[in-house]
């Protein structure tokens, strides 16, 4: 195996382990700018190295996640469970591609367009959950009159 690829696989696996923990922390503390910057940096590093090594499938998935994380970091989007779930799904996809890459030294074929489209929609604010209005209590119907037979 090529030394660059081997080093990439090792570094990316380590970064993904850190990302798993950091994303859980992000759900608990979505307004932590330091945490958001660290998560963004890790995904950015994965994306950049994929481009350098000529791994387009990995690069596209990482890029779509990076776009969402960048919007979080810049305050343009609020962290939502839906968005974090999509990012976690992208990390699972990256792990799957990496496992094949490690055994075959080539990216597996696959179509990630659905995941990428969801991430892009979230980044564009199209799938970001709107703030729910305060619930309005349902009107209470008066009780039905009780008729007693004489």
| Domain presence at residue 128 | no
Asked if the structure places residue 43 within a domain, the reply is yes
Residue 150 or 18, more confident: 18
User: CA 6 to CA 51: how far, in whole Å?
Assistant: 16
Residue 142 lies in a domain: no
Distance, in Å, from the CA atom of 61 to the CA atom of 96, rounded to the nearest integer, reads 12
Domain span including residue 118: 3-123
Q: Kindly state whether residue 134 falls inside one of the protein's structural domains.
A: no
**Inside any domain, residue 149:** no
Reply yes or no on whether the pLDDT at 131 is more than 60.
no
Residues 6 or more apart whose CB falls under 8 angstroms from that of 121 comprise 127
Number of domains observed in the structure of the chain: 1
Give the pLDDT confidence score for residue 132 in this predicted structure: 35
Q: Could you tell me the pLDDT band of residue 70, with boundaries at 50, 70 and 90?
A: very high
- Residue 27 within a domain: yes
Specify the pLDDT at position 149: 61
Classify residue 147: in a domain, yes or no.
no
For residue 95, give the CATH number of its domain. 1.20.120.160
145 domain-assigned: no
- Per-residue pLDDT, 51: 85
């Amino acid at each position: 195996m090529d030394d660059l690829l081997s080093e990439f696989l090792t570094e990316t696996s380590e970064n993904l382990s850190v990302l798993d923990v950091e994303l859980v922390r992000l759900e608990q503390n979505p307004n932590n700018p330091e945490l958001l910057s660290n998560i963004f940096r890790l995904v950015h590093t994965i994306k950049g190295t994929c481009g350098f090594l000529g791994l387009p499938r990995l690069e596209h998935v990482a890029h779509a996640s990076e776009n969402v994380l960048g919007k979080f970091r810049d305050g343009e989007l609020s962290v939502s469970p839906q968005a974090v779930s999509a990012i976690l799904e992208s990390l699972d996809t990256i792990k799957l591609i990496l496992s094949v890459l490690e055994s075959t030294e080539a990216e597996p074929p696959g179509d990630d367009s659905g995941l990428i489209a969801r991430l892009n929609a979230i980044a564009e604010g199209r799938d970001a959950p709107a703030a729910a209005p305060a619930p309005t209590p349902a009107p209470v119907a008066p009780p039905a009159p009780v008729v007693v037979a004489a």
